[in-house]
């Protein structure tokens, strides 16, 4: 299995592996660079990426855009290793729900990102923002309907198609492209089998557009993938590769604080729950005192960091930026800890190389 590579457009990664983008501050240069050094595609999350910049509190957008270029530069230095060679790729995950989304995409492309992956909404205008660059683009979808809508609109408005697709299933972490009702049915018999059929439909949709454009559209499957058997299953469905995020959190190279990683190590299956984020989207997180507190009432918001387009300090139950920053910096009692539904299976701190050997022995 470790001989399979991933060809996307005119670029190639040694491994058919994308490390999922995790914000705020979980997947920055340290993690993404280490994955790319091993031959995968390392992804930096643009979500409030500048939280450590001195002007973040006064001009978060400016801090974020500056930090994007800095983190990509640092990631490339890490990915190159001592011999200066890198067999992987580097890019960004940029949420469509991000305020001033287009500016973030343009910044990533101008900084030289190999790829941009975009979800948390339909990235219908993504092609416009990378025009004239060689940055490859992929929408994140969870249904054949979403894939069909996006590819049809890209064809109609921009006369182009996706360079690849990422399918994010219901077992993924963070914000999810499913209704709460769908997520509550995950444990029912046949749920995963039914979703395998949806994956095949999405692949067929991608193949039809690829044929129309005389190209290939690799499809990457994500959500709950932890081991080689799951990788092989995804490939057997027709996928070209997998995207993995949660297992990389408990690595030495992950950019989060040690306490954040330990929250994963000590999590039990019953600690992982579906929550509703301040923008009304279902998400998966580890139960902690913070979630208990916000269930009892709203947390006062004293400053808006202008993160998500549809978030309003007047109506939000808490500031998701502050909650995620507290967690990634180690205050896991008072922060929001997003995770995938298999997080409880992680029992020790390992390395990026260890995770990759588990996926591709």
> Reduced to 3 states, what is the DSSP secondary structure of residue 138?
strand
The model's confidence at residue 95, banded by pLDDT at 50, 70 and 90, is very high
Least confident of 52-56, 174-178, 300-304: 300-304
- The answer, yes or no, to whether residue 256 has pLDDT greater than 60, is yes
The pLDDT of residue 145 is above 90: yes
3-state secondary structure of 345: helix
Provide the pLDDT for residue 286. Answer: 96
User: Do 17 and 6 contact (CB within 8 A), yes or no?
Assistant: yes
Mean pLDDT within 37-57: 96
| 3-29 per-position pLDDT tens digit | 589 999 999 999 999 999 998 999 999
pLDDT digits (tens, 9 = 90+) for 238-254: 999 999 999 999 999 99
Compute the distance between CA of residue 19 and CA of residue 40 in angstroms, rounded to an integer.
7
Going by pLDDT thresholds of 50, 70 and 90, the confidence category of residue 1 is: very low
Q: Report cis status (omega within 30 of 0) of the bond before 24.
A: yes
Q: Which residue has the tokens 């454009």?
A: 213
pTM of the model: 0.94
């Amino acid at each position: 299995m470790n001989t399979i590579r991933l060809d996307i457009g005119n670029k190639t990664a040694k491994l058919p592996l994308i490390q999922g983008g995790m914000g705020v501050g979980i997947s920055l240069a340290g993690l993404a660079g280490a994955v790319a050094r091993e031959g995968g595609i390392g992804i930096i999350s643009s979500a409030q990426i500048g939280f450590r910049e001195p002007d973040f509190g006064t001009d978060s957008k400016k801090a974020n855009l500056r930090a994007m270029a800095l983190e990509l530069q640092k990631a490339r230095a890490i990915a190159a290793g001592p011999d200066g060679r890198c067999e992987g790729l580097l890019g960004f995950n940029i949420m469509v729900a991000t305020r001033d989304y287009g500016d973030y995409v343009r910044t990533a492309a101008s900084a030289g990102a190999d790829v941009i992956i975009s979800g948390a909404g339909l990235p219908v205008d993504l092609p416009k923002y990378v025009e004239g660059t060689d940055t490859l683009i992929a929408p994140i979808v969870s249904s054949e309907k979403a894939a069909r809508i996006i590819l049809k609109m890209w064809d109609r408005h921009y006369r182009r198609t996706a360079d690849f697709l990422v399918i994010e299933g219901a077992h993924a972490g963070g914000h999810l492209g499913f209704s709460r009702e769908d997520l509550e049915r995950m444990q029912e018999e046949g749920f995963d089998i039914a979703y395998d059929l949806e994956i095949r439909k999405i692949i067929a949709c991608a193949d039809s557009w690829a044929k129309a454009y005389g190209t290939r559209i690799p499809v990457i499957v994500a959500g709950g993938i932890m081991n080689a058997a799951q990788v092989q299953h995804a490939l057997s469905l027709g996928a070209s590769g997998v995207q993995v995020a949660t297992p990389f959190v408990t690595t030495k190279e992950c950019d989060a604080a040690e306490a954040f990683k330990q929250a994963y190590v000590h999590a039990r299956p019953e600690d992982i729950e579906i929550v509703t984020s301040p923008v009304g989207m279902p998400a998966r997180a580890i139960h902690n005192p913070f979630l208990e507190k916000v269930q009892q009432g709203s947390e006062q918001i004293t400053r808006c960091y202008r993160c998500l387009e549809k978030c309003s300090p007047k109506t939000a139950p808490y500031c998701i930026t502050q909650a995620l920053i507290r967690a990634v910096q180690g205050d896991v009692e008072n922060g929001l800890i997003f995770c995938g539904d298999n997080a409880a299976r992680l029992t020790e701190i390992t390395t990026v190389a260890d995770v990759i050997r588990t996926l591709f022995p």
